[in-house]
Amino acid sequence: MRRILLLTEYDGTLFAGLQRQRQGLRTVQGELEKALPHIGALPKAVAAGRTDAGVHALAMPFHIDLASPIPPEKVPEALNRLLPEDLKVVAAREVAPDFHARKDALWRAYRYRVLLRPHPSPLLRHRVLWLRRPLDLKAMEEALPLLLGRHNFLGFAKEETREGVRELLEARLEVLEGEMGPEVRFYFKGRSFLRGQVRGMVGTLLEVGLGRRSPESVKAILETADRRLAGQSAPAAGLYFLEAAYPEEKLKPPGP
């Protein structure tokens, strides 16, 4: 039995989220686990985190246990023949036997995309949040550093029952001139995130950018952990799980 790290890419539009749920709901984990026995793997896939319905991923890690002799480099091709068009494996490698995709993650990173132009894009309707009004980038850049460090982020979370203290390592934005129009992209990197935290932070930052609240208002949300003080959660369609990092020793397969 070998432990394999999979990196998956998916379009979250038609999924009810990443995590396996009640029967009848289509999930990323559920689709992946249906395919695993066909390549000689146990029908269990453990992800680095969770994404809600409509959220996308560029490189979501899973670990699986593989009993068949198939080489790791052949695993993506084998699984992709079985997986739906909106979920694919983009890379695979053998890792340490005790590697754990969730518990061993050093950090995780997310991106949120906002399209700024006078009219919506039918081609990007499930990929970005569209806004017709310009944003005050300077005001948002003043607010972003206030989120850095170790805080209670429950004020930005949704349906969260866990303890709220998390550490945010990076928070920044960039402006790109894309083919479909200018985009503002938020980037967040943290050791872990609460449910809905990124979308709550983005929704609040967009209110800052639209002049509906001051950059300093972020402080009160962090100090009180009161969700009522934050902005509405940004829609799921603009959010992407980017990547996760792991200790080098956990990424090494066992020796001969």
Positions marked catalytic: 52
* Residues 57, 39, 94, 99, Cα dihedral to 10°: 70
Beta strand pairing call for 2-10 and 56-66? antiparallel
Cα separation, 181 vs 132, in Å, equals 11
Bridge partners of 110, per DSSP, are: 188, 241
Distance of CA 102 to the CA centre of its chain: 13
Handedness of CA 100, 172, 113, 224 (dihedral sign): positive
Q: Which among 237, 226, 252 is positioned nearest to 55, based on CA atoms?
A: 237
Cα separation, 173 vs 11, in Å, equals 23
Cα separation, 143 vs 140, in Å, equals 5
User: Looking at residue 41, what DSSP letter applies?
Assistant: B
Query: Are 101 and 63 a contacting pair, CB within 8 Å?
Result: yes
Alpha-helical regions (H) of the chain? 28-35, 75-80, 137-143, 197-209, 217-224
Bridge partners of 91, per DSSP, are: 7
Write out the two tokens for 218: 């972020």
User: Looking at residue 194, what DSSP letter applies?
Assistant: -
